[in-house]
Amino acid sequence: MRKLLTLTFTILGCAAFYPRPALALGFSAPKPQFAYTDASGKKQSADIVDKRYPKKIVQPFAGASKIDPKLRRAATIAEERAHAHSLKKCWQFVKEALVAAGVVKSRPQTPLAKQAGQELVKNYGFKKLPVSDPYQAPVGSVLVYDAKRAAGHVEIRTEDGFVSDFRSKIPSHRPLLGVFAKS
């Protein structure tokens, strides 16, 4: 009995002063699981997240604090309205998203997508950002592309990729004229 008591106090003392080696003694409980039935009727389970992370992510996206938060809302609106494939109406869909989010008070009038940047700067208070890589554009910014004998292309940067009248994980292959955002 005396040896057992000494051994118990030794183990508890090790656990108090050396917690990592004490974990190796096998005092761990099984991970909690959440059980559910999926749409096909099959039983599934998933780990329950039981750790809290005390530090908040202050700026989840680079440059996000420098642009108007309404632009992020415009990106969400455009994403909700977008189709799987192009309808060849990119500038029309981007205009509607900007108006719906309250970024611009009236609908832009330029007919060609490649003219979008000039009009946004001239009439709506946008600024051209010093960004040449579409992947580095802040979420909500408007990307304008050129085309030699066509209307060009306009899209909005989203958290997952790019959106205009359709969603895409990759930016347009056309030459980038500029990335525009409002402060």
In the chain, what are the domain boundaries? 66-181
pTM for this entry: 0.64
CB 165 within 8 A of CB 138: no
pLDDT digits (tens, 9 = 90+) for 18-64: 555 555 555 556 677 878 888 888 888 877 766 665 554 443 444 45
Percent of the chain past pLDDT 70, that is, above it, reads 74
CATH architecture label of 66-181? Alpha-Beta Complex (3.90)
Average pLDDT of span 100-129: 93
Average pLDDT of span 67-96: 91
Q: What's the token pair of residue 14?
A: 């090790």
Q: Which of 39-53, 116-130, 144-158 shows the lowest per-residue confidence on average (mean pLDDT)?
A: 39-53
pLDDT higher than 50, residue 164: yes
| Residue-averaged pLDDT of the chain | 82
How many Å apart are CA 23 and CA 11, to the nearest integer? 11
Position 42 scores a pLDDT of: 87
How does residue 109 score in pLDDT terms, banded at 50, 70 and 90?
very high
How does residue 67 score in pLDDT terms, banded at 50, 70 and 90?
confident
Position 76 scores a pLDDT of: 92
101: exposed, middle or buried (C-beta count within 10 Å: 0-12, 13-18, 19+)? buried
Position 63 scores a pLDDT of: 47
Number of C-beta neighbours around residue 178 at 10 A: 23
Q: Is the dihedral of CA 38, 85, 173, 159 positive or negative?
A: negative
How many Å apart are CA 96 and CA 173, to the nearest integer? 23
